[in-house]
Structures are given as structure tokens and as C-alpha cells.
Structure 1
Amino acid sequence: MPELDSSSMTNPGSKRSNNEDCFLSLPAQDLWMVADGMGGHDAGEVASAIVRDTLAKYPDLPLSESIQRAHQAILDAAANGIGAEGMGSTIVALKHHGENFEIAWVGDSRAYQFTPELGLQALTTDHSYVQMLLESGAINSIDAESHPDKNIITQCLGSQEMETVRVDSLTRPWQPEQWLLLCSDGLTDELSHAEISAILQRYRTPDQATRELVKAALNAGGRDNITVQVIAAPSQPKPSMRAALAHWVPIFTHSRRLDAIIYTLALLVLFALLYWTIF
């Protein structure tokens, strides 16, 4: 099976000297991931790197299982003096399964799907305080975009209060011309849904789209680390000439070959009559 066309990029942003985000891109293993670390300098980046390295170590495990292992790996690292106590990370990961894809996530890093026809659609739901308010009806979607507590998350990998984390996941079929976008909140805090959709609509390759999304987020302020991955759906094989022509053959019998012969003979008779009539 050919590898999927994809592009990944991370940037510390305009306001921070260190980058607590990281990504994993393993097209040969059909695996992509974005992690957003937290815990300050020399802690957040340690946590997100542990998540990346754990998933890279277990590319064949179900996403939910490898994510649980990453959670435990962060706890073990902190207990052994690596990084810092209380460090953690979000995660959003993609696994390609032939005709389907799987998304799994913890925290507020997000996944979206995009098609030229339908535009941008969210696939994930944040594990955040503002999302809880939204679901309870206490605020609306407009309030959520500018809420002062929008970056408070309700769970993350490495949380010492949780023996295991709740990994949300979904599996969907690939659609023609579909792109999947994985990103940290450094992108979605700077660009609106409509702005992201417009950029994806404008560019033809994952590489172009990834670069322009990061550039736009930096131009909008770049107040946080920014990580973006764009993964294109498997290319659809072009039908053969024979298959394309067979689509136009009417059904006369239970044999497509016999139908094609009858239809061809009918066309030849029609052309002969037309030729005889005209000339």
C-alpha cells in the first residue's frame, strides 16, 4: 500500500523561547500524532517527548493502549526525577486502517476533517472546563471562543490524580479528497474555524497547507507553540477505460459481456442506417 501524503510542522511561536509541542509522523507505520506538553521549561517538552517516543515504540498497538502506556511513562519519569513532578501532555493521534482511519485524543489538541465540498468539520471534543460549560448550556459557542478559562483542561497524560486516563476515539471511513488536520491549541487559539477552512480550501497539497496555517497563526500573534499536521486521504484508483465504458452499457441480460456485444451491434446498426439515410 502506498504511504499517505502528509506534512508536519511545529514552531515555538512568537512569544516563547521553548517549544513544549512535538509531533510524530510515521507514514510507513500509518501513524501521526500531536502532543502539547505542560509544566514549564524542561518539563512540558519532556512530557510531550515521552508521549511521542512511547507511541513510536508501539506503532502496532491500538491507539488507546499506546496512549495509556504514554500516560504511565510520564508518571514513571517524574517519579524517577526526569522532567518535573506535575508535568503532563495532551495528545491527538491518527492511525490509518486501509479504508478507515482512527482518531484518539486526551486533552484539547484537536482533529478536524476537511473536504472541498463540505469545508472544515471538528472530529474531536476538548477535554476542557469550557467544553463542560458549553455542554451544560452555561455558555454558548460564541462565549466559548473568548472565555478566559478556555485553556484549562480536565485531563491530560501524566496527571497524578488519575491511574488511567479516558481516551476518546472514533473510527470513520476515508472520503475522496479528504484531508485530516491534527493541531495543538496554538493554531486554534489564533485562527478561527473559518480562517482555517479558507486556508485549506486555497492550497492543493498538505505541505503548502501546513506551511500557510503555521504562517497565519504566527501572523495572528503566535502567542503559544504551534503544531500542525495535514494528512491526505488515500488516492482513489482511476477506473480503467473498459470499466468506464461499461458504465454506459444498458442491462439486457445477466451477462455484462453479452450486454456489451448487443449494445455494440445496436450502435453499429444505428450508424449504418444513419449513413445509408444521409448518403
Structure 2
Amino acid sequence: MIEYGHGTHAGLRRTDNEDTYYADAGSGLFLIADGIGGYRQGALAAALARDAVVEGIGRGEDLFAAVQAAHRHLLELAKARDVLPLGATLAALRITDGHYQAAWVGDSQLYRWRQGLDRIVHDAHYAAERCPALGTEPERPPQRRNAATQALGMPRREPLQIGLARGDAMPGSGFLLCSDGLVDALDEAALARIMGRTELAAQECVDHLLLDALAGDAADNLSAIVLRIS
């Protein structure tokens, strides 16, 4: 059984919220998309990325293929409309049959809770998108390089790097997906402190994360999804 909570807030310095998310225990799909600042229609880009991944999963694609398709969709849409790039970062998680598959592009974050908080990116490998216009050779970049340079929908000379991880999703474990605004406002010790409060429901964990972030600087949009497996 998957218990989950979710929430988002524009933050203390912004009037627009360019984060969006999707959470569905039935399909086991959870994701957060963050529209790239500095480009027009960031909220639209995030929503388009979200919908493209959801549609890909609905077609029976695996998570990596769905993220690839979302990237191509944003590129093609911006070209067809002759507009500035529609860019978004993404963190996505799929839970099926006691296992998880995670995929991300950019600085949206994924954590696993199991007697402590672990950033999933630490255990990940990277795969190059196999798109003729972008190249075909996989490579592994230095740790965290993708955080500032990778985004769905951004034209690139080199392949897009999609972070990938797989593992067990056993009873007693949990997951946190969040936009970079939350991890900028709260350090990992603060995240772990809240995730470790097992007396709280998943939605209460999300509420505490957002409230604690808003009690500080919270300069960016904030989004979080908390999952617990039982």
C-alpha cells in the first residue's frame, strides 16, 4: 500500500508558481516538474512535461522512455510555435511490484527514507537520450553536473543526461520528491528530521516541510511529495 501527501507554494518572493506535480497511487507514478526561470511560460513548460510523462506511462512506456518523449515533445512544440525554449526540470518515481524506478533531469530532488534519508542520485547511473538530433552515445558526467545544465526541452549539442535509479520499495520505506526551492530552504538534516517522524501521516510531513521552508527564506517555489510504503 502507498500512502502519500503532496503540496506546493509559490514561496515568499515570487507571485507565480512554476512548479507542478502529479501523484497517483493506482499507476504508482509520482513526479515534480519545475519550469525553468528566465524563459517565458515556465509554468506551461512544467505542465507540458508533466502531462507528457503521464501520457507515456499510460501508453505502457517505462519511465525512462516517457521522460525521453517529454523532452522531445517540448523541443518540437517550441519549434512549431517559434517560441523561446520550453524548459523544465523533472523528478519522477514509479513504484510497481515492490520496486521503484526513478528518473530525473536537472536539480529537482529524489530521496529515499529507510532508517535514514538517502539522496537517490548518489546511487544512480546516467543514460544519454538516444535521439538522432542530439547524439547517441551514453556518457557519465561528474557528480551533480546535471543540476545546473540539464533540463527537458532545452536545445543541446550533446545528449540530454537523464538520471536513473532502481531499487526495492519495501514496507517501512519512504520517498521524498521535491523541487530545488525546498532543498534550498531546508538542509538535508531538516528534511530527515521531518521524514523520520513516523507518527505523522504523509500529508502532515508535506505540510511540515512547506511550513518550515516558509518560516525561513523560501526564495523560490516549493513543492514536495512524500510517500510511505506499507
TM-score by length of 1: 0.70
Distance 1:162 1:73, change over 3 A: farther
Matched, 1:170 2:165: yes
Query: C-alpha separation between the residues in 1 aligned to 2:163 and 2:121?
Result: 8
**Other-structure match for 2:64:** 64
Could you say what the CA RMSD is over the residues aligned between the two structures, in angstroms?
2.4
* Percent of aligned pairs with the same amino acid: 29
**Other-structure match for 1:121:** 118
Higher Rg: 1
Query: C-alpha separation between the residues in 2 aligned to 1:162 and 1:180?
Result: 34
Query: C-alpha separation between the residues in 2 aligned to 1:162 and 1:109?
Result: 22
Query: C-alpha separation between the residues in 1 aligned to 2:34 and 2:220?
Result: 10
Query: C-alpha separation between the residues in 1 aligned to 2:200 and 2:38?
Result: 37
Alignment counterpart, residue 26 of structure 1, candidates 24, 27, 47:
24
- Checking the alignment, whether the CA contact within 8 Å between 1:68 and 1:164 is kept in structure 2 is no
Alignment counterpart, residue 196 of structure 2, candidates 192, 197, 201:
201
- Checking the alignment, whether the CA contact within 8 Å between 2:99 and 2:170 is kept in structure 1 is no
Distance 1:190 1:38, change over 3 A: same
Correspondences of 1:72-91 after superposition (within 5 Å): 72-81=72-81, 84-91=83-90
**Other-structure match for 1:225:** 221
Query: C-alpha separation between the residues in 2 aligned to 1:215 and 1:151?
Result: 29
**Other-structure match for 1:103:** 102
Query: C-alpha separation between the residues in 2 aligned to 1:218 and 1:47?
Result: 25
Higher relative contact order (Cα pairs below 8 Å, separated by 6+ residues): 2
Instruction: Write the letter of the residue equivalent to 1:120.
Output: L
**Other-structure match for 1:13:** 11
Query: C-alpha separation between the residues in 1 aligned to 2:147 and 2:106?
Result: 9
Query: C-alpha separation between the residues in 2 aligned to 1:124 and 1:205?
Result: 25
Deviations 1:47-73 (A, max 9, x none): 111111111212231111110111011
Cα displacement (A) at 1:204? 2.2
Instruction: Write the letter of the residue equivalent to 1:15.
Output: R
Query: C-alpha separation between the residues in 2 aligned to 1:45 and 1:204?
Result: 31
- Checking the alignment, whether the CA contact within 8 Å between 1:71 and 1:164 is kept in structure 2 is no
Distance 1:47 1:227, change over 3 A: same
Cα displacement (A) at 1:157? 0.4
Instruction: Write the letter of the residue equivalent to 2:69.
Output: R
Cα displacement (A) at 1:40? 4.0
Show structure 1 runs of 5+ residues with no match.
136-143, 145-149, 236-279
- Checking the alignment, whether the CA contact within 8 Å between 1:92 and 1:106 is kept in structure 2 is yes
> Secondary structure at 1:217's aligned position in 2?
helix
**Other-structure match for 1:153:** 148
Instruction: Write the letter of the residue equivalent to 1:27.
Output: A
Query: C-alpha separation between the residues in 1 aligned to 2:5 and 2:53?
Result: 18
Aligned length: 211
Correspondences of 1:29-68 after superposition (within 5 Å): 29-40=27-38, 42-59=40-57, 60-68=60-68
Cα displacement (A) at 1:39? 4.0
Show structure 2 runs of 5+ residues with no match.
127-140
TM-score by length of 2: 0.84
Distance 1:41 1:75, change over 3 A: closer
Deviations 1:71-100 (A, max 9, x none): 011112211328x41331111101112111
